[in-house]
Homo-oligomer: A and B are copies of this chain.
Amino acid sequence: MSAPSASAWWAQFRKNLFGKPIATSRAAHERLSPRVGLAVFASDSLSSVAYATEAILQVLGLVSAAALGIQPWISLAIVALIAIIATSYRQTIRAYPQGGGSYIVASDNLGPRVGLVAGCALLIDYILTVAVSVAAGVAAIASAFPSLHSQLVPIAILIIGLLAFANLRGIKESGALFSVPTYGFVLVMYVMLALGIARSVQAGPQVQQVLAEPGTLGSYASAPFWFVVLRAFAAGCTALTGIEAVSDGTQSFQKPEQKNASKVLLWMAIILSTLFLGMGYMVMHLPTVKLFSVKNPEFSTVSSQVAAYAFGSANHPGFYTVQAFTALILLLAANTAFADFPRVCSFLARDGYLPRYMARQGDRLVFHNGIIVLALAAIVLVYAFHGELDQLLPLYAVGVFTAFSLSQSGMVRYWLRHQGAGWKASLGINAFGAFLCICVLAIILVTKFRDGAWLVTFMLPGLYFGLTAIKNRYQSVARQQAVTEAPEATVVSGNHIALLLVPRVNRGILNALNYARNLKGEVQAVHVTLNDRALPELERQWQKYGQGVPLVVLASPYRSLIEPLVEYVDRLREADPNCIITVISPEAHSRRWYQRWLSENVGFQLKNALQKRRNVVVASPRYFLD
């Protein structure tokens, strides 16, 4: 209830709620074996298997049921793209053993402006990683428990909130946290695909039935063929999201870092490709494919349809296992964004594009800011798009391929400048990768512009100018405050006056008096009379214990403490405009929080009241009660 101590109370509350140590930032500094590294870095990438194939089918389904037959070719093209981009990122690992995220690579090689574009794209990416992964995870859960359909958005928001809470508290990141969902997912997916392929081979060829939302099937029949193919390709490119993660984190690996990271990237690309191709094969051979909207009570994800087919029914324990691990790896993917987003913020802050204190990731309060911003932004997106993946994925793809294009282009520039051993081959690979990424980005922008991609073309420049404005402000401050003259001239030399607030005479106050006398210059004890009857006794006590320091008694006709003090400070400053004043407000500190309610943070109020006055400082020595 006490406003004066509200901030202290809030700090205490945060501490109780979110605990003390930030385990996250520390655990990240333990070096990873390739096995654990794969688990740590692959969740974002591999989890896209859960939705990428469906995204292709959703586009083709708009043309006709027969058009679904194009999907395997598109999937093959995407696997080729995976191979090229993965190879391309292995060059980044080679060049940036300390970790080459898009922001760093683009800034280093293409200048700070392009780097900032990459940084903005990354921030948008991480927000969408959370939104997309959680939405897909909830869809996987709803495929297993159809009664949850009507509550998808609240559930997704709740999950984002829980992830944020867990990260605010600090997750103890162990190998198991990553290994169980990632390897579990890979394992159950392979089992599912093996069973499914066996069953479909046994069943022999059959005509596939396609069920879609009424009015959608065939609504695109008149669109040009190339446009539909490119659009489906663009939709499938969401399979590549997260592929850059390993090259960001090269330095997290055990020695030899680059070799281990490269190996992990290779394995990740192989697993991703085989799962993706397997999924593409399976959806071709399902007797029935349902492409319903997530709001439809008959909705289930395509990958859950594959699982139901492979295990024989949607009641088989295997089916539930697949759905569980799908949801788990998706939540893990969302969770990685909670670690990465504050990190990119800290890079941007270090370079002056975000409030400078954001660079201090190790400090709890600062670390919290990034997590809260990320969670809120993701919640807004999930809410605005009703948790529908087909609407979120185009946004995601634009951000991801913007970052890819800039990072790969940066690598091209890097090899041209550095020309180490085998630089020509690396240059060729990165140039081809950059070219493909730019093509994909163009395809996404053209074919998906009206489906949400336009939004990113506003968010990105908006973010860019916002961060530039912050940078400009810092630069203008730096200019204002620059030290240009001789040092002696910049320093105002004045008398120092220490004002010690003496509400009563006790040991705590005498301890503060001791502190005050340790400052140079004049010390004055100041008492504001709120209770006239107590004054004579106070004066008598000060006479005895005040060590000769003069006591100034200020009347307070309106029973204010702050006003008479501010007026007195102003009088002192008028008398000597160059004087430096330290107001010393001793503070009692109780051990228990409910006892703290009885003491007050006068220092805080004084600081606010005196904030516009130069050379006036408030200091609050504490004394301890028990």
Contact = CB atoms under 8 A, between A and B. Distances in A.
B559 A361 contact: yes
- Report how many copies the assembly holds: 2
B355 A597 contact: yes
Given A511-B492, A558-B25, A560-B360, A480 B530 contact: no
Contacts of A611: 589, 622
Contacts of A487: 510, 544-545, 547
A346 interface: yes
A491 interface: yes
Contacts of A29: 557-558
B360 A1 contact: no
A481 B508 contact: yes
Nearest to A479: B506
Given A478-B506, A510-B491, A355 B600 contact: yes
A543 to B, nearest CB: 11
Q: Which of A559, A608, A612 has the most CB of B within 10 A?
A: A559
A7 B7 contact: yes
A519 B517 CA distance: 10
Nearest to A584: B617
Contact of A519 (B362, B520, B559): B520
Contacts of A161: none
Interface stretch (A122-130, A226-234, A253-261, A469-477): A469-477
Contacts of A346: 559
B520 A362 contact: no
A514 B530 contact: no
Contacts of A561: 357, 360, 362-363
A177 interface: no
A413 B618 CA distance: 49
A481 B493 contact: no
A506 B481 contact: yes
A625 interface: yes
Nearest to A518: B496
Given A506-B483, A559-B346, A625 B3 contact: no
Contact of A357 (B595, B602, B612): B602
Interface stretch (A271-279, A302-310, A365-373, A395-403): A365-373
A483 B470 contact: no
A84 interface: no
B506 A617 contact: no
Interface of A: 1-4, 6-8, 10-11, 22, 25-26, 29, 346, 350, 355-357, 359-363, 365-366, 368-369, 372-373, 470, 473-474, 477-478, 480-483, 487, 490-493, 496, 503-511, 513-515, 518-521, 530-531, 541, 544-545, 547, 556-563, 580, 582, 588-589, 595, 597-600, 602, 604-605, 607-608, 611-612, 614-615, 617-626
10 contacts: A2-B357, A3-B365, A3-B369, A7-B7, A362-B560, A365-B605, A490-B507, A515-B580, A615-B621, A618-B620
